[in-house]
Structure 1
Amino acid sequence: MKETPVDAIPDIGELQVLVYADWPGRSPQDIEDQVIYPLTTGLMGTPRVKVVRSTSAFGFGLVNMIFADGTDFYWARTRVLERLDFARKDVPKDATITLGPDATALGQIFWYTVEGDGYNLAELRSMQDWYVRYQLTAVDGVSEVASVGGYVKQYQIDIDPNKLIAHDVKIHHVIDAVQKSNIDVGAKVFEEGGAEFIVRGIGFIKNVSDIENIVIGEKEGVPIYVKNIATVIIGPEFRRGALDKEGKEVTGGVVLMRYGENPLKVIERIKQKIEELSVGLPEGVKIVPFYDRTGLIQRSINTLKTALIQEIIITIFVILVFLLHFWGSVVISLVLPIGILIAFIFMRQFGVDANIMSLGGIAIAIGVMVDSGCVLVENIYRRLVTRRKELNVEKLPTEERLNTCVEGAQEVGKPVLFALLTTIIGFIPVFVLTGQAGKLFRPLAFTKTFTMAAAAIIALALLPTLCYYFLRGKLKQVEENRTAQVLFKGYNPLIRWSIKHKGIVVLISIGVIIIGLLCGALMKQEFMPPLNEGDLLFMPVLLPGASLTQVMDVMKKQDIIIKNEFPEVEWVVGKLGRAETATDPAPVGMIETIIHLKDKKFWRRGMTREKLIQEIQEKTKMPGVSPIMTQPIRNRIDMLATGIQTPVGIKVFGPDLNKIVEIATQIEKIVGKVDGAVSPYAERTSSRPYFEIEIDREKAARHGIKVGDIQHIIMTAIGGMNLTTTVEGRERYPVRIRYMRELRDTPEALNRVFIPAAGGEYIPLAQIAELKQVPGPAVINSENTLTYARVFINVDQSKVGLVDFVKDAQRAVDSEIKSGDIKLPSGYFISWSGQFESEMESRKKLIPS
């Protein structure tokens, strides 16, 4: 029981393997064309793959390979690794391709911040990256620890191109000099005085001065240093994510649990490790958790534990009232604890985790478990009373008592066994469910079957023995039982009346059936009732093109509003962009704010969770920001399983990204009018501002300039490039080269970037290329190589069930398509996605067509 893995809900996410591609500075279009599309086509032949979903964003790409049910997790990873060698042959050499962590959608079990007064974000991030992160990664059961927020320390060489020209130095000379000036070497050994001395050449960069004094060349006997043509400073590396706590920027990390581990045990080990680490942290620095799944797991399990205990107490009381024999009640009640313990043994052997569904299976089996004990014990009890009366003795001889108990058990043994078997057989259809439905309900079916099997074993093997020893003393016939007499007096006239008025009874029965059918037809339909996780996940999404600074400003304002204006909120931490892990593909324009709520006794009178969500969305409304409210676990499951962060979503497939975004925007307006829709939002992924430099090959050729040389200047001087990495003890920091900010941060400055020509002269970039502002993709999503745009829809499930909402929304959209208001060209189609897919899949399995 203690060794059984415990979680809040079953891991109902798809079995997936993530392939992560890192290519810093590249646009989503370049990532898609040169990295993700070749990877996707190369990986699609992997055995047992159900669907290949991919995302191309700024600087990185992600291929999400979803495997068929029943596939072994590590077998799937091995197959992907084998296929990856073949798939990466067409990928650029400087793109880094790695396999994602061996974690699932429920793997993010622990988030924390690293805080300390008197320390800046760069210092805190260094502590996180080089001390905290690796120590937590070493914890048993942890797959990965990803950093988020703060600033990564970087040595920045900001070149003045005018000084390059004055000293007649090319940028590639600077790159070559820096790369060759950061290395320690070994020269084997020499002997002296009978001892060996290991020879080392010390040359690693240690500080800014070392970089400034790197020699690039010489002119007329005078050395040209880096400091002569550039300014060297320590600054923050380019980042795509940030973390905010109640309006103050912080740094932190997220812990991902390895597949198949016990969440409670892993979180306990993480907390123990944090206590150990705290001693070694600088004074004033502390690790502060802000998302911990322990509370949710404990609440879920405690709710069911309480229900189980209450059921056992009520059952014992009812048996005692009806049987009026204390030890008989005890014998029957023993079925419950022993049966539950046997069920846990089976759970351990079959790999079934303890969660709200599996324990729910035990809870609903309690009534049937007791029935078997009641029937068997009551029959033995009756036989003992009758035998005593026949022999006219107060106490039966030992042999006679034993025979009576055996005969009583044999008399009802077969009916009891077959009654339990019919109940077990009733759950067989649940075992054939697949997908999320199977993963959700199979634990319940397993544990109910285990408890029923345990009840059968106990009833047939243990209870007769216990009856032999404990059914003693004053035994009354059932007819003499006062409780039975009272019930009989009430039941006798009722059954007589029913027999005399058969027609009325039949009509009442038919009426009940009709009312039941009507209620069933009107009942809300959903796949899984929403689990109250305790914490909320607020996900405002800004339009593409919003800068990190702008998104950070929005996040800080919203976090301050949520913390200061809602007394129900204990604390709030927001993340924009992505943590440095393959499991987090969020763009900069997406905010994920975890809102931790106080205990309900501290809430305002009359406040409900639904009202609080509505108030938060109202108070945090901002132009150009679309709010999505969900929960942390639900979001991860939906996002990685279907590519949709909300319970319902629509995917518009087609070859032209602009067209599918246009159709998605039209659908957003239509769905917004459907009853139950909350904040529908269509991704505007095709309207991010791009600044393109299109090289005129003929003009470049007249000056003897190669296209590759121009692209190299664009990539290094304008975009910046990490040339090498310093080694400072255990810490590693990049060294970056780039033009000075004021010479590259406006269109006018980019026009004047000089390109060295073959004759030694310098040509402005505007003379050999066209520089223009154009719209382009912010992110490119595809499924089995088909690009799609998404519409996210939250549903007010207090008004309408998910399945009912999807039916209404589908009717509304289909009506607009038929009327011609929405035009789907050839090659374009719409797909509905989300939780309801699992509901429909389970219906197909359970209800014959």
Structure 2
Amino acid sequence: MINRIITWCMANRFIVLIFLFAILGAGIWAVRNTPIDAIPDIGVNQQIVFLDWPGRSPKDVEDQAVYPLTTTLLGIPGVEVIRSNSMFGFGMINIIFEDKIDFYWSRTRVLERLNLGLKDLPEGVVPVLGPDATALGQVYWYTIENGYYCPDHPDEVFDTPGNCPKDGQPLIRSQYNLAELRSTQDWFVKFQLTAVKGVSEVASVGGYVKQYQIDVDPNKMLSYKIDMMKLIRAVKRSNIDVGAKVIEEGGMEFVIRGLGFIKGIEDIENIVIGAHSGVPVYVKNIGNVMLGPEFRRGALVRDGQETAGGIVLMRYGENPLEVIEGVKRKIEEITTGLPPGVRLVGYYDRSNLIRRAVNTLQKALIMALIIAVVVILIFMGQIRSSFIISIILPVGILLAFLVMYLLEVPSNIMSLGGLALSIGVMVDAGIVMTENIARHLGMASPREAKSAVVLRAAHEVGAPIFFSMLIIIAAFMTIFTLTGQSGKLFKPLALTTISAMGGAAILSVTVIPVLCVMMLGRRMRPLERNPIAKALQWGYRPMVRFCLNHGFVVLLFFLIFVIISLVPMVGAKIVTGPLSKALPLDRVPGVHKVFKKLEATLPGIKSEFMPPLNEGDLLYMPLLLPGASLTQVKQVLTKQTSTIKEFPEVITVVGKLGRAETATDPAPIGMIESIIILKPEEQWRPGMTKARLIKEIIQKTQIAGVTPIMTQPIRNRIDMLATGIQTPVGIKIFGSGLKEIERLAVEIENVIRGIPGSVNPYAERVGNKPYLEIAIDRKQVARHGINVGDVQSLIMTAIGGMNITTTVEGRERYPVRVRYMRELRDNVEGIERIFVDSPFGYKVPLRQLAKIVRVLGPAKIASENTLLYVRIFVDVDTETTGIIDFVKEADRVIKETVRFPPGYFITWSGQYEYEIESRKRLMTVVPICIVAIFFLLYVKFRSLSSASILIMALPFAFIGGIWLQFLLGYKFSTAVWVGYIALFGVAIEAGVVMIEYLLQKVKSEGSNRPLKEIIVDAALLRVRPIVMTTATTILALMAVMFSTGTGSEVMKPIAVPTVGGILTATLTNLLLVPVLFYWVNKRGYSDTRNEADRLLEKTTGSSSSDERGAPE
């Protein structure tokens, strides 16, 4: 089939060229229109439901709202797990769907169930579906701050004081308070940025929401005989506009409006509540009216100064770079609409990370291209031949971009990394094809047509090179079986690699022969005259002869090398352990110490889920005890941000306590999230590293009772919304009683502390939140004719405060709140003196109707599929132990030392969960990859012996990767195993061409010459293309191995085993494959010609009677 394709292309060269230019044009268009991001979206497929119930305790939120709604949502198709968090005043339900479920389909199913669940919720609780954004949706964070401006030119705002550049006047600083800055954010900036294409939501954070506050004096209310409900009704009825249709006058129609909206404090003060002794009673007679801050559960601090700001959330599936650029353009547009001196300052901008990551991979890609072209030119020694081979690179890359665009795969470090990793392999097919054509042209008769020579040479190698590329593609296809975060991370890499390889394979049998006919001369200089080719053959001839003459020794050497390679992989215990058991070596002086030192020096290669991506910025997350107040947490945050800002490596630090007003932020008051924006590393102090900087920051900001966690912004968002665990390892303790769960959590925390490798284990103290509970005595309230609901309403309004109406001030809306004066409700004694109206006409103090007690209760309640749980966060010293090994040991110790009551159990979570899932999948994927390669080899050669010879390259390729991985200190990870999967396909490639050529050579010469001589001659003709393809692949991968910058830490582990394995695989193909081929074919050598004929007929469709396929 391949030969027929080659023949058709040679006969239709013009169509082939049109096809080539069409790919170029479409590929360039795709490059310009493919979305760009830093990393693939590896977050879970989830929807978030948010419930707002102000003033309610976590227990009320859980029992009355979250739990009933969770049970309703459990039946949605495709749901994997439902997690919920009930906190003070709100609840969040995270519904995790299977990855195959469409994002917007899942939203419609959730909305359907929310409608069903409304009947089970308390009055006033309305669940809201969160924004259509993912864990990576927070692309731009900004603050709104006071700046300096010129009164005569207020449109321009400056960061520092000075003089106006236009007229020289001194600049003045704007003096807007936090409430005014927040109002600008809420009623102007937020809506303008939400209108930007691709923005799902803009969440406000920090500052104060302006509120009209009516603080009433119950004593004055008593003297004027005014109750709370009467006050509320009066205020509500005094804040209303009405319409009365129209009247006609003088032929004109006038719209009638009754204006009654509250416009300020004076309007509220003059609202009439009732009358006393014939005199109107105004609101100002019974209390004070003022503007103040609404109750808040979050704050924002920048470099030690409190401020307000916002978070831009990108809509699912949008292009982050375009969204961020659109937001920045909109900010420039609306600057003139801001109050004089107010400015918007971005501090976390995902586009910086995107550009750094893409630039890293672009540099590696360009460097790999240059290296590949230079290597080709050196080995070929002919400019036109080198150009023909090199044309595969840009066309193959553009073809991959076209596939990315059509399949909606963004351009990121993984997809670009796939291209960078495949550069060297892409040209292999072109090298073999062009080299064979050039060699045939150099030896062809002058009378033979050039097209006939090219066609014959292309037929000779077309099928094997296409098939060898097919094997590489088949190896990468197994990556698509990965699931979870591993699958989302590496599938783009596999897709671009397969697209580039497939394009290279197609181009090598379609475009390359056509270009050779058009560009190569009729009489080519024989490639054998190339000094590099001569040197290779001169050095290779004695080596292959030696191997053929001493085959057993060569095979034994390779096998011993494989066995020895198990030591760096598994560790020295694989040798010292059996020796210590078999022999009494402990009695021999010094041997025991030598063994221990050897085991310490060679502990084996450890494992991890993934090498962490260096995002360039840090996220510092100290956790305070749940009893901490907002004021206390803000003091800690202010002190820490001021301290961190003093580090010379830090540009700015912005800390958030509590949550932003978005369903994607579940943070409680006691959680601080400080984004630390760092300078480029070249501007750091000499000798400063990221690990050292993190250590110094934690040391200088450490506060007693505060647990520090240092992570990165994107990593944190993914972990928080996926598993809720911010550390590498987490433990979830499930059960039915929250107190018992917390007791077990603290006990397990203490156990974990004693396990080697654990760092700062911390169990959530969810039950230590101080509560002030008012237990109503039903008998007492009944005696006074009072309803329990009336007492509860008074508690909510008088103590907690109630928003009773909303002012309409142009485009802005502000709540009006009524509450007792602070001095009458900020202590137990004041609360006990609150009077409750009796229908019998007198008032009863609350202390007679209820008992007020101080207790400890939950600060939050978390559940998973309705089961309560508490988390333990555990950091692991991965330099001394692997995460999986640590979990195995910790799990054993916990089960031995901790007694669990019936119905209580633990599960392990965090990155450990991903690593276990990835390891299980890889244990299936890697064998599938090997079996698939062997099957394809058998289909190609129809011979178990030939397939077995080639599959022998895999173990030797594997050990080469192991040694380089060990020497460079890389741990086993999903990225490393993907590198091995790539290696298995590449390792077979050169062997396929070698075996094919050996068969052809034996077929053409039969038993006329000794078999060893035939093998030597055939191997000599293949040594240059094999070494050439190896050199291009390895040197191109070196561009990735030595790359620096964002993203390189993910790509290097893939390149390392590939480079090391290709080296040993090449030695196997050059030295061991000829030996094995000789052993298989030496018996009955007189029949070898017939065997070769039979194999060639099956693989190429030719026979010994068809001499066109024989080499010159």
TM-score (norm 1): 0.96
Aligned partner of 1:203 among 249, 260, 283: 260
Matching of residue 422 in structure 1 with residue 452 in structure 2: no
Instruction: Please give the secondary structure, in 2, of the residue aligned with 1:96.
Output: coil
Aligned partner of 1:836 among 912, 928, 935: 912
Q: CA shift at 1:463, angstroms?
A: 1.1
Matching of residue 529 in structure 1 with residue 611 in structure 2: yes
CA distance in 2, matches of 1:176, 1:39: 33
Q: CA shift at 1:192, angstroms?
A: 0.9
Q: Which has the higher helix share?
A: 2
Matching of residue 311 in structure 1 with residue 368 in structure 2: yes
Alignment of 1:336-355 (within 5 A): 336-355=393-412
Letter in 2 for 1:206: K
Label 1:52 to 1:648 Cα distance change in 2 as closer, same or farther (>3 A): same
Matching of residue 8 in structure 1 with residue 38 in structure 2: yes
Q: CA shift at 1:799, angstroms?
A: 4.4
Aligned partner of 1:717 among 795, 798, 808: 798
Aligned partner of 1:81 among 87, 107, 111: 111
CA contact (8 A) 1:576 1:588 kept: yes
Task: Indicate the residue corresponding to 2:890 in structure 1.
Answer: 812
Instruction: Please give the secondary structure, in 2, of the residue aligned with 1:787.
Output: strand
**May I ask how many residue pairs the two structures share in their alignment?**
835
Matching of residue 19 in structure 1 with residue 39 in structure 2: no
Letter in 2 for 1:558: Q
Matching of residue 245 in structure 1 with residue 302 in structure 2: yes
Give per-residue Cα distances to partners, 1:600-619, cap 9 Å, x unaligned. Answer: 12211111111111111111
Give per-residue Cα distances to partners, 1:99-157, cap 9 Å, x unaligned. Answer: 10000000001000000131111111011001100000000000000000000000000
CA contact (8 A) 2:757 2:886 kept: no
Give per-residue Cα distances to partners, 1:380-418, cap 9 Å, x unaligned. Answer: 11111111xx227xxx7xxx1222222222221111111
Alignment of 1:288-687 (within 5 A): 288-387=345-444, 390-391=445-446, 400-472=449-521, 475-521=524-570, 522-564=604-646, 566-687=647-768
Q: CA shift at 1:499, angstroms?
A: 4.1
Task: Indicate the residue corresponding to 1:61 in structure 2.
Answer: 91
Matching of residue 258 in structure 1 with residue 315 in structure 2: yes
Label 1:276 to 1:798 Cα distance change in 2 as closer, same or farther (>3 A): farther
Instruction: Please give the secondary structure, in 2, of the residue aligned with 1:626.
Output: coil
Q: CA shift at 1:835, angstroms?
A: 1.9
400-409 vs 538-547, which moves further: 400-409
CA contact (8 A) 1:667 1:813 kept: no
CA contact (8 A) 2:193 2:327 kept: yes
Alignment of 1:39-118 (within 5 A): 39-116=69-146, 117-118=174-175
Task: Indicate the residue corresponding to 2:185 in structure 1.
Answer: 128
Aligned partner of 2:807 among 714, 721, 726: 726
Q: CA shift at 1:503, angstroms?
A: 4.8
Give per-residue Cα distances to partners, 1:410-466, cap 9 Å, x unaligned. Answer: 221111111111111112221122211211111111111111111122111111111
Give per-residue Cα distances to partners, 1:84-107, cap 9 Å, x unaligned. Answer: 111121101211311100000000
Q: CA shift at 1:842, angstroms?
A: 2.7
Letter in 1 for 2:334: L
Q: CA shift at 1:481, angstroms?
A: 1.0
Letter in 2 for 1:525: S
Letter in 1 for 2:335: S
Letter in 1 for 2:673: E
Task: Indicate the residue corresponding to 1:822 in structure 2.
Answer: 898
CA distance in 1, matches of 2:336, 2:697: 39
Letter in 2 for 1:745: D
CA distance in 2, matches of 1:543, 1:190: 65
CA distance in 1, matches of 2:478, 2:56: 50
Residue segments in structure 2 that go unaligned for 5+ positions in a row: 1-30, 147-173, 571-603, 928-1112
CA contact (8 A) 2:733 2:741 kept: yes
CA distance in 2, matches of 1:667, 1:475: 77
Instruction: Please give the secondary structure, in 1, of the residue aligned with 2:312.
Output: strand
666-675 vs 282-291, which moves further: 666-675
Work out the percentage of aligned pairs sharing the same amino acid. 57
Give per-residue Cα distances to partners, 1:232-272, cap 9 Å, x unaligned. Answer: 00000000000001110010000000000011111111111
CA distance in 2, matches of 1:620, 1:512: 52
Aligned partner of 2:212 among 132, 137, 155: 155
Q: CA shift at 1:672, angstroms?
A: 3.1
Alignment of 1:797-808 (within 5 A): 797-800=878-881, 804-808=882-886
Give per-residue Cα distances to partners, 1:442-495, cap 9 Å, x unaligned. Answer: 111111111111112211111111111222277222221101112222223333
CA contact (8 A) 1:671 1:680 kept: yes
Label 1:192 to 1:767 Cα distance change in 2 as closer, same or farther (>3 A): same
Task: Indicate the residue corresponding to 1:233 in structure 2.
Answer: 290
Letter in 1 for 2:800: G
The structure having more radius of gyration, on CA atoms, is 2
Matching of residue 783 in structure 1 with residue 861 in structure 2: no
Residue segments in structure 1 that go unaligned for 5+ positions in a row: none
Instruction: Please give the secondary structure, in 1, of the residue aligned with 2:871.
Output: strand
Letter in 1 for 2:379: F
Q: CA shift at 1:500, angstroms?
A: 4.7
Letter in 2 for 1:752: R
Give per-residue Cα distances to partners, 1:194-223, cap 9 Å, x unaligned. Answer: 111000000100000000111111123211
Give per-residue Cα distances to partners, 1:710-733, cap 9 Å, x unaligned. Answer: 000000110000011100000000
Q: CA shift at 1:658, angstroms?
A: 1.2
Task: Indicate the residue corresponding to 2:59 in structure 1.
Answer: 29
Instruction: Please give the secondary structure, in 1, of the residue aligned with 2:682.
Output: helix
Task: Indicate the residue corresponding to 2:15 in structure 1.
Answer: none
CA contact (8 A) 2:118 2:126 kept: no
529-538 vs 365-374, which moves further: 365-374
CA distance in 1, matches of 2:854, 2:565: 64
Letter in 2 for 1:584: D
Q: CA shift at 1:816, angstroms?
A: 3.4
Give per-residue Cα distances to partners, 1:46-81, cap 9 Å, x unaligned. Answer: 111111111100000001101011111000001111
CA distance in 1, matches of 2:240, 2:90: 29
Q: Which has the higher strand share?
A: 1
CA contact (8 A) 1:645 1:792 kept: yes
361-370 vs 732-741, which moves further: 361-370
Letter in 2 for 1:556: T
CA contact (8 A) 1:675 1:805 kept: no
Q: CA shift at 1:664, angstroms?
A: 1.5
TM-score (norm 2): 0.74
CA distance in 2, matches of 1:806, 1:481: 54
CA distance in 1, matches of 2:895, 2:484: 31
Task: Indicate the residue corresponding to 1:286 in structure 2.
Answer: 343
